[in-house]
Amino acid sequence: MSDTPAVSVNHLTKVFKGSLGKGAFRAVHDVSLTVKPGEVYGLIGPNGSGKSTTMKVILGLLNATEGDTRIFGIPSTEVASRRSVGFLPENPYFYKHLNGRETLHFYGKLCGMTGDHLKSRAEEMLALTGLEDAATRRVGGFSKGMLQRLGLAQALIHEPQLLVLDEPTAGVDPSGSRIIRDLIIEFRSRGITVLVTSHLLEQMQEVCDRVGIMAHGRMVREGRLDELIAVENQTEMVLENASPDLLAKINALVKAEGGGTRLLRSGHPRTTLERLFLEATNEPKKP
Amino acid sequence: MSEATQSSAAVNVAPVRFSPRRVWTLAYATMTQLMRMKILPFLLLFCVLVAAMGFGFSTINPEQQLSQFKTMSLGVLQVFSIVFGIVATALLLPKDLDDRTLYTILSKPVPRFDYLLGKLLGVLMLIASGLVIIDAVLSLILWLQQSMLFDAAVSQLHSEKQDTPEAVAQMREIVARQGLTWNLHWAVWAIFLKAAVVTTVALLLSCIASSTLFTIVIAFCITIIGHGHAMIREFVLQPNLSSASVRIASFLLAAICPDLAQFDVVDSVANGEVIPWTAVYEMTGIAALYMTVYLFVTHLVFVEKEL
Ligand SMILES: Nc1ncnc2c1ncn2[C@@H]1O[C@H](COP(=O)(O)OP(=O)(O)OP(=O)(O)O)[C@@H](O)[C@H]1O
Ligand SMILES: [Mg+2]
């Protein structure tokens, strides 16, 4: 059982048909990925690279043009595959006439939850996402970050085994996004699988076990995060308060060493995932 | 276990079954959502209008006055309920799509059929509750009018010194036949059935196009054509039809549009004719059949829909 991938995407291609057969657009091109149970998988890529589209196919909201996707071994085309999944779409929105608590009750009931169990779970989720104060306020008046938190709360309401989060920190303030990051780490410790996209690479680097980088609808890099960002034949030195003099000396030393040793660059260090991201996604577009 | 799961395409998992409780959750949310769209004031306005109408007619004779009142109020009620059914349905689905509420709902273990049925039931429940209220108001007005008119007629007979027991009994019978009878409730039921069929058609259209304007316009066209169903059928069946394509086109039209004239009982109710039980059963059956077929087609369209 534990060998069954939490999510498997097999040679997925998604073409959006334009109106009247014109302007068909290939948003996802032959993408394969596997998320093992219990790991945090980060999907990153520039805007429009097909991350959200891939997620929607995984959740059965869109049909795959080619290839297939499965959740815990069950094809996404079957409703049963969504029994144990919590999904937070990008820019989530809810019935604006309900308040925060009623919204959670609504989604809990859709998952077949009832009575006291549902009530206590809803309160728990409100507390977890810091929405206690907004529990009796209409969703119509929620701010962007509050909607995002409510989206996370509804995704968690039925204690899913897999979480699919599309930019969970978009629009959330720094402390809120830190809380979400910590939550993801806690989910992993409880054995919950997470598939997440985000443009905050620093945070992704902190939480992800594995990442896939998408560009132009294709998967351009995939693997364990630590392996991907380790560059075996390069060494990075981070100095504090180094004087220009010292830097010049180091430079001279490197030059004197000769052979294969070269100083590639110096300057302020960047997040390594960020560097990888820019490298991978700026490669020339394949036909 | 894991090997079998991965290698075989058919995984043995219990499918998510249809759940009345889930449908109810969706229907209730739909109903409250629509109630927020300020529908109650309209309902009140309608009641006031009808009441004003009921007492505003000049007295020609008691029979005609009651009959006129019923024709008018039931006619307006029919138009109101159809307009409401179409417009509400046309708004709901595109709104859920635009707001991406549909994403969060359908990413839960919710079969798409449950969602559709929930939406339809929500609209129908609201129409039904509105009609129940109005039915009560109408009954009250009719009953008040009936006794008022009877008293007036009796006092007139009295002044003409013609108030023999037979004449009074006859007058009572005439007024009662046009007054409050079960017929009124059956007429309201027929109004509900027609609105329900039209609402289901609107749901189908809205699934095909997910455009509010398209749904409203086409649903009204279909409603109008549906009332002339008999005419189309006659046209199709006439032997000397000029071209086959016209015949096929009208045949398709007849097949697509529901025969809404089946539910027109307002006239006979206004005439004080008794609607037999069998007619009520038949009407209900026809409506159920139409709705089942339309809902089935809607489901076929919606299951394949890209969100
Ligand atoms: N319903 C649709 N119809 C047509 N094209 C679409 C549709 N949905 C997405 N696309 C296109 O597919 C491409 C991928 O979109 P997607 O939303 O998956 O990007 P993304 O990687 O999530 O980007 P972002 O980081 O901005 O969220 C985009 O070019 C987008 O325009
Ligand atoms: Mg996206």
Residue B272: per-residue pLDDT: 67
pLDDT in tens, A186-198: 899 999 999 999 8
HEC sequence for chain A:
CCCCCCEEEEEEEEEECCHHHCCCEEEEEEEEEEECCCCEEEEECCCCCCHHHHHHHHCCCCCCCEEEEEECCEECCCHHHHCCEEEECCCCCCCCCCEHHHHHHHHHHHCCCCHHHHHHHHHHHHHHCCCHHHCCCEHHHCCHHHHHHHHHHHHHCCCCCEEEEECCCCCCCHHHHHHHHHHHHHHHHCCCEEEEECCCHHHHHHHCCEEEEEECCEEEEEEEHHHHHCCCCCCCCCCCCCCHHHHHHHHHHHHHHCCCCCCCCCCCCCCHHHHHHHHHHCCCCCC
- Distance of alpha carbon A194 from alpha carbon A174, whole angstroms: 21
Instruction: Name residues whose C-beta falls within 8 Å of residue B297's C-beta, 6 or more positions apart in sequence.
Output: B204
Q: In chain B, whose CA is at the least distance from the CA of A3?
A: B2
Q: Is A194 within 8 Å of A267 (Cβ atoms)?
A: no
pLDDT of residue B12: 61
Q: What is the pLDDT of residue A170?
A: 86
Rounded to an integer, what distance in angstroms lies between the CA atom of residue A98 and that of residue A142?
A: 11
> Is the minimum distance from the CB of A50 to ligand 1 under 6 angstroms?
yes
d(CA A75, CA B1): 17
Which neighbouring-strand residues pair with A41? Answer: A195, A210
Average pLDDT over residues B6-10: 42
Strand partners, A194: A40, A163
Which residues of chain A from 158 to 197 reach within 8 Å of chain B, CB to CB? 158, 164
Please give the Cα distance from B252 to A171 (Å, whole number): 52
pLDDT for res B58:
58
Mean pLDDT of A86-94: 92
Q: How far is the CA of A44 from the centre of ligand 2 (A)?
A: 10
CA A42/CA A40 separation, integer angstroms: 7
Alpha carbon dihedral A196, A198, A202, A203, in 10-degree steps, equals -50
The bound ligand whose nearest atom lies closest to the alpha carbon of A19 is: 1
Longest dimension (CA), chain A: 76
Mean pLDDT across B282-297: 93
CB of B109 within 8 Å of a chain A CB? The answer is: yes
Measure the CA angle with vertex B186, ends B199 and B286; round to 5°: 50
Question: Token pair of B195, please?
Answer: 């609105």
Mean pLDDT of B4-12: 45
Mean pLDDT of B266-276: 71
pLDDT tens readout for residues B234-244:
777 777 666 77
Query: How far is it, in rounded angstroms, from Cα B286 to Cα B278?
Result: 12
B5 in contact with A, Cβ within 8 Å = yes
What pLDDT is recorded for position B6? Answer: 42
CB contact under 8 A, B107 and A87: yes
Residues of B in contact with A63 (CB under 8 A): 304, 306
Of the partner residues B11, B15, B25, the one whose CB lies closest to the CB of residue A79: B15
Please choose, from the candidates B191, B4, B215, the residue with its C-alpha nearest in 3D space to the C-alpha of residue B94. B215
Contact A75 B33 (CB under 8 A): no
Q: Which ligand is nearest to the CA of A44?
A: 1
Q: Residue B1's pLDDT band (boundaries 50, 70, 90)?
A: very low
Q: Do A14 and A78 form a contact (C-beta atoms < 8 A)?
A: no
d(CA B99, CA B32): 17
How does DSSP classify residue B39?
Answer: -
Nearest CA to ligand 1 atom 3: A16
Question: For a pocket test of ligand 1, which of A52, A54, A87, A219 has the largest count of ligand atoms closer than 8 A to its C-beta?
Answer: A52
How far is residue A192's CA from residue A245's CA, in Å, rounded to a whole number? 51
Out of A170-174, B262-266, B272-276, the most confident range is A170-174
Question: What pLDDT is stored for residue A252 in this prediction?
Answer: 87
Average pLDDT over residues A251-277: 74
Residue A100 CA, ligand 2 centroid: distance in Å: 25
**pLDDT of res. B298:** 94
What single DSSP character describes residue B179? Answer: S
Residue with tokens 């279909």: B222
Shortest distance, CA A75 to any CA of chain B (angstroms)? 8
Write out the two tokens for A81. 């595959």
* Structural domains in chain A, sorted by start: 7-229 (3.40.50.300), 244-281 (no CATH)
- What distances in angstroms separate CA A136 from CA A131, A153, A166, B286, one per listed residue? 10, 15, 26, 45
CB atoms within 10 A of CB A15: 15
Instruction: For residues A229 and A71, give the distance between their C-alpha atoms in angstroms, rounded to a whole number.
Output: 28
Please check the confidence at residue B115 and state whether its pLDDT lies above 90: yes
pLDDT at B47 over 80: no
> How far does the CA of residue B5 sit from the closest CA of chain A (Å)?
6
Residue B4 touches partner A, C-beta closer than 8 Å: no
In sequence order, the 6+-apart residues with CB closer than 8 A to the CB of A258 are none
Calculate mean pLDDT across residues A139-167: 92
A116 token code pair? 């006291």
Residue range A220-230, pLDDT digits in tens: 988 888 777 76
**Nearest Cβ partner for B108 among A82, A95, A98:** A82
State the amino acid at position A235 in one-letter form: T
pLDDT digits (tens, 9 = 90+) for A4-41: 899 999 999 999 987 766 778 899 999 999 999 999 99
Min mean pLDDT across B138-147, B234-243, B276-285 is at B234-243
* Alpha-carbon span A185 to B233, nearest angstrom: 68
pLDDT given for residue A270 in this prediction: 55
Which residue has a Cα nearest atom 22 of ligand 1?
A52
pLDDT band at A139 (very low <50, low <70, confident <90, very high): very high
Does the Cβ of A51 fall within 6 Å of ligand 1? yes
Neighbours of A11 (CB within 10 A): 12
Is some CB atom of chain A closer than 8 A to the CB atom of B11? yes
Residue B300 CB neighbours (<10 A): 11
**Per-residue b or e along A230-249, where b marks 16 or more CB atoms closer than 10 Å to that residue's CB:** eeeeeeeeeeeeeeeeeeee
Q: For position B4, what pLDDT does the model report?
A: 40
**How confident is the model over B117-127, as pLDDT tens digits?**
999 999 999 99
Among residues 39-68 of chain A, which lie with CB inside 8 Å of chain B? 56, 59-63
Residue B275 per-residue DSSP state = P
Mean pLDDT of chain A: 87
A97 → chain B, closest CA residue: B33
Reported confidence tier of residue A124, pLDDT bands at 50, 70, 90: very high
Total CB pairs under 8 A between chain A and B? 106
> Is the separation of the CB atoms in A197 and A126 below 8 Å?
no
Secondary structure letter of residue B59 according to DSSP: -
Chain segment A39-89, per-residue pLDDT in tens: 999 999 999 999 999 999 999 999 999 999 999 999 999 999 999 999 999
Token pair 């660059």: residue: A265
Cβ-nearest to A111 among B26, B106, B108: B108
Report the distance separating Cα B138 and Cα B80, nearest Å: 15
Which pLDDT belongs to residue B153?
A: 79
By CA distance, what is B95's nearest residue in A?
A95
pLDDT band at B57 (very low <50, low <70, confident <90, very high): low
Query: What is the residue with the minimal CA distance to atom 24 of ligand 1?
Result: A47
In whole angstroms, give the CA distance from residue A87 to residue B110: 13
